[in-house]
Amino acid sequence: MNILIYTIFVEINNKMISSSLIPTEKIIERLQYENPWWVTKQVPETYGTMSKRLYFDLFYPFVKERNVRRALVLMGPRRVGKTVMLFHSIEQLLKDKVNPQQIFFIGIDNPIYMHLGLEDILALCKNALNLKEFKDCYVFFDEIQYLNDWERHLKILVDSYPETKFIVSGSAATALKLHSTESGAGRFTDFMLPPLTFQEYIYLKNLNHLIYNGSIKYGKKSIPYCLTHDVKALNKEYVNYLNFGGYPEVVLSEKIQSDMGRYVKNDIVDKVLLRDLPSLYGINDVQELNRFFTYIAYNTGKEFSYESISKESGIQKVTLKKYLEYLESAFLIKVLNKVGVNAKSLKRVRSFKVYLTNSSLRTALFSPITETDREMGNMVETAVLSQWMHREKLDLTFASWKDGRNEGEVDLVLVDKKFKPVWGVEIKWSNRYFDKTHELKSLIQFCKTNNFEKALVTSIDRQGVKEIEMLQFTFIPASVYTYNIGDITLKMKNTTNIE
């Protein structure tokens, strides 16, 4: 940016600050309150005593990266620990001997910053510490989505302060990613923080003693796999994870678990449905959107068609598509498209499955389930799929078909870019098929059609390999399988440094 133009720009911004309804000194007092390490040289004890998410070790290297001039955009749904991760990053920076007065944190959702741009706030930060220049600084903007045109403001900062690292967080995942990609090309690095995996749940609850490194037979190979010493105890935790496990605060607080409706529904669901983004999608009737989401949540894992939903809800198809698009952008649901028995995509998508991204959302809207409830099957499917969602680049589908009078379905199918099937998994919360493997007719047909020699089937607590019609089916407890998806994903991300 031309120096003269930028100087004029800053002067105009300073006039805007001085004309604000809130006195400048009060805003500076707030900044000093939000940044206690300027004096104490440590983060507030509230954050310092919290356990780090396993994703922190992936995130922090991006914070420290200074060779590439890019801002870091931390995205994810509400209450998954984004703010805590920012404070853990600040804590680590302090441990790495970064000058405390070169670290700045600003919560953009605070009304005191209303009508201020990022440049304005940065100028106030300089005033608060009497800094002449910003150099080798780390600036954290939390809840960035509350600032209009945030991406334009952030891009200007990245260009104007090349020696300062900017880290921002926001809850409106897809919309943030859209604006980040469109307006911040070459300037922003995106990092998605998903809800807790079952692996992270076990870690945060200090239950790693339930897990050991073993192996399973899958086809002709023996592959490394995390197994359990006590499947009964792991399953007990698994049911607890299905009900309460998606949010770090809920996992660690029995008080919150006793009132999920108030905590999760009011603080997460209602704010997303009623406040965050509906207007961007042209949604006017937020109450209807709320009712529609409740309907979807109750039927998580169910196969839908626009015709069936429209008939049951009384909502027009065009509006339904808009609602689904918004709910997926808000990271509340995941739509899974259907393929046929040969895993080829269908010419006309008549039906699809909709899953909650976090099974505990259902608990917040209705009530906790037990392992004998009929809803367990769909809840386990939801939990399994939510682990796979952490691998954003995978093309996951489900297979469903009609063959004469016979119908078939395979719960989870991975296809490559050419829609060639890679594998299929049958997700069950039942031991029945371990003893009656011949009843897995759909999976058998799917494997034969696609020349598969093996497949994986989940159970309640049975483990082993069953052979039928020249096929090998590896049975794994659903809790163990869910744990391993998260574990393998984290190992892959650590190895490849993918986002």
Model pLDDT for residues 2-34, shown as the tens digit of each residue:
444 444 444 444 444 444 568 888 999 999 999
Spatial distance between the Cα atoms of 368 and 360, rounded to a whole number of angstroms: 8
pLDDT confidence tier of residue 348, bands split at 50, 70 and 90: low
User: Of 22-26, 85-89, 93-97, 306-310, which gets the smallest average pLDDT?
Assistant: 22-26
From edge to edge, which strands make up the β-sheet containing 103-107? 103-107, 138-142, 165-170, 71-75, 188-192
Q: What is the pLDDT of residue 44?
A: 93
Query: Do residues 196 and 248 touch, judged by C-beta distance below 8 A?
Result: yes
| pTM, rounded to two decimals | 0.86
Measured in degrees and rounded to the nearest 5, phi and psi for residue 116 equal -105, 140
pLDDT, tens only, 274-284: 665 566 677 87
Spatial distance between the Cα atoms of 483 and 317, rounded to a whole number of angstroms: 37
268-307: string of b/e by CB count within 10 Å (b at 16+)?
bbeebbeebbbeeeebeeeeebeebbbebbebbbeebebe
Q: What is the pLDDT of residue 172?
A: 57
Spatial distance between the Cα atoms of 153 and 149, rounded to a whole number of angstroms: 7
Spatial distance between the Cα atoms of 352 and 7, rounded to a whole number of angstroms: 54
- Average of per-residue pLDDT across 431-438: 97
Q: Helices marked H in 130-229 — which ranges?
A: 150-160, 173-183, 198-204
Spatial distance between the Cα atoms of 211 and 383, rounded to a whole number of angstroms: 19
Q: What is the pLDDT of residue 11?
A: 46
Q: Which two tokens stand for residue 249?
A: 């605060």
